[in-house]
């Protein structure tokens, strides 16, 4: 929203379910000159905190929101204006904005999943989400114990220039909990069948953690379906893994058990909030989840060792391959990104953990599109 030389900075919407965000802190002072993409503030969502970047260039003439304030999507955070815009004009702009702003209402229960879609692959029901309508296709594949909502900072930005699909793997999210084949190869076949079912002939596959191994296996087994490959903190290209995390996650039944485990996923443990913990526990308590996770974990690790080794396949791939890691990954060590074949582009982001696509979303999104 703008008025001549005045532009509003408003609370972003990250993910379908977001209706509000909490301002953690401003990262820029008033009267700073902002360029497109400059970091403005840290905002906590219902899932995790993220850094909000400037969507417009200009001078930050007024910081409206304050630290620890929770505001609805679209609420006024600050004002950009030229140096010659008077304080009176800015005051009038803010007053008019606040007088006309209407906070979003929580969706009705039967509308909450209205943007998600489902399809049947044999006896399995798969939940997925499509955003964008660009010529390029991107498929996002989550990791062990995750779901498509963990791409909330990724899918919508990528959808500006592509058709971007995310899905809940069998045993995860809202997809069927019965797992027909929990091996990496079996789950790669699910991805290939999903692409056929939604009419995708080929796509850029982006996989996180176990999803990285699944994406890589798809590129090996179904090479014609994969235009490019991005592996984020990926399983399948090294031996070590935090087996205690995996087994603990499978067994956890309470907040006391799950909270310290989830804190291992990020460089900054303070990013793990109550809503993320509650969502994981709600998922863990669904019928069939423990059995599904047990079967899937048995398909790619034994103790602290991975049993799927696809590292040797990387050098033979003809499509572009990009590997992204957080340097502080405590689930799968970033050292697995060392000494990869020359056809693989490697980026290790300093200070971030296993959920680097959430902690450093803007950096990861730029690397996916590079």
Tell me, yes or no, whether 273 and 182 share the same domain: yes
Tell me, yes or no, whether 46 and 159 share the same domain: no
182, 157 Cβ separation under 8 angstroms: no
Per-residue pLDDT, 108: 57
Tell me, yes or no, whether 73 and 152 share the same domain: no
Of 301, 341, 338, the residue nearest 210 (C-alpha): 301
Q: What are phi and psi of 234, to 5 degrees?
A: -80, 140
Tell me, yes or no, whether 78 and 188 share the same domain: no
**Three-state SS at 190:** helix
Structural domain harbouring 62:
2-100
- Assigned domain for 87 exists: yes
- Per-residue burial over 304-313, b if 16 or more Cβ lie within 10 Å, else e, is eebebebbeb
- Assigned domain for 86 exists: yes
CB-based contacts of 197, cutoff 8 Å, min separation 6? 119, 121
C-alpha triplet 154, 160, 164: angle, nearest 5°: 55
- Assigned domain for 228 exists: yes
Tell me, yes or no, whether 49 and 159 share the same domain: no
Does the predicted TM-score (pTM) go above 0.95?
A: no
DSSP character string of 128-167 = EEEE---SSEEEEE--TT--GGGGTTTHHHHTTSSEEEEE
Tell me, yes or no, whether 218 and 87 share the same domain: no
In the numeric block, which tokens belong to residue 9? 């900075």
CA distances to 78, 150, 228, 361 from 215, rounded to whole Å, are 41, 16, 10, 20
Number of domains in the chain: 2
In whole angstroms, give the CA distance from residue 329 to residue 45: 22
CA distances to 171, 181, 214 from 186, rounded to whole Å, are 13, 5, 9
| Alpha helices for the chain (secondary structure H) | 87-100, 155-158, 184-197, 210-221, 243-251, 255-263, 274-284, 289-298, 356-359, 361-369
Per-residue pLDDT, 29: 96
Tell me, yes or no, whether 209 and 308 share the same domain: yes
- Assigned domain for 307 exists: yes
Tell me, yes or no, whether 76 and 196 share the same domain: no
Q: Report, as ranges of residue numbers, the positions in the chain whose pLDDT lies below 50.
A: 1-3, 109-113
Give me the CATH number covering residue 11.
2.40.50.100
Tell me, yes or no, whether 253 and 134 share the same domain: yes
Per-residue pLDDT, 4: 57
- Assigned domain for 70 exists: yes
Q: What are phi and psi of 26, to 5 degrees?
A: -80, 145
Per-residue pLDDT, 279: 87
Give me the CATH number covering residue 288.
3.40.50.1820
Tell me, yes or no, whether 172 and 312 share the same domain: yes
Tell me, yes or no, whether 80 and 177 share the same domain: no
Please identify, among 43, 74, 100, the residue that sits at the C-terminal boundary of a domain.
100
Per-residue pLDDT, 107: 60
Tell me, yes or no, whether 182 and 296 share the same domain: yes
- Assigned domain for 111 exists: no
- Assigned domain for 109 exists: no
In the numeric block, which tokens belong to residue 174? 């809202």
- Assigned domain for 278 exists: yes
């Amino acid at each position: 929203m703008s008025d001549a030389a005045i532009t509003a900075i408003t609370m972003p919407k990250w993910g379908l379910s977001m209706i509000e965000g909490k301002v953690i802190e401003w990262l820029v002072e008033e009267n700073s000159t902002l360029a497109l993409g400059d970091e403005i503030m840290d905002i906590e969502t219902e899932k995790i905190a993220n850094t909000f970047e400037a969507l417009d260039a200009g001078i930050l003439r007024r910081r409206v929101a304050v630290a620890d304030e929770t505001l609805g999507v679209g609420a006024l955070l600050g004002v950009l204006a030229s140096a010659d815009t008077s304080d009176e004009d800015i005051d009038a702009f803010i007053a008019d904005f606040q007088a006309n702003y209407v906070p979003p209402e929580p969706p009705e229960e039967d509308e909450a999943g209205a943007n998600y879609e489902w399809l049947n692959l044999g006896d399995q029901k798969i939940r997925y989400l499509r955003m964008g309508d660009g010529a390029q296709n991107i498929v996002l594949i989550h990791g062990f114990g995750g779901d498509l909502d963990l791409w909330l900072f990724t899918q919508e930005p990528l959808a500006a220039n592509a058709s971007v699909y995310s899905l809940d793997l069998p045993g995860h999210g809202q997809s069927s909990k019965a797992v027909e084949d929990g091996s990496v190869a079996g789950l790669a076949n699910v991805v290939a069948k999903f692409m056929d079912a939604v009419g995708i002939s080929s796509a850029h596959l982006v996989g996180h953690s176990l999803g990285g191994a699944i994406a890589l296996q798809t590129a090996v087994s179904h090479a014609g379906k994969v235009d490019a490959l991005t592996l984020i903190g990926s399983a399948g290209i090294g031996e070590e893994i935090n087996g205690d995390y995996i087994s603990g996650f499978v067994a956890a039944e309470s907040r006391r058990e799950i909270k310290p485990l989830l804190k291992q996923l990020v460089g900054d443990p303070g990013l793990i909030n109550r809503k993320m913990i509650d969502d994981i526990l709600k998922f863990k308590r669904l019928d069939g989840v423990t059995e599904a996770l047990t079967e899937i974990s048995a398909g790619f690790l034994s103790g602290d060792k991975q049993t799927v080794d696809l590292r040797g396949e990387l050098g033979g791939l003809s499509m572009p391959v990009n590997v992204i890691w957080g340097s502080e990954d405590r689930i799968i060590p970033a050292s697995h990104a060392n000494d990869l074949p020359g056809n693989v582009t490697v980026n290790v982001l300093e200070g971030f953990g296993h959920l680097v696509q959430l902690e450093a979303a803007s950096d990861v999104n730029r690397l996916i599109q590079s």
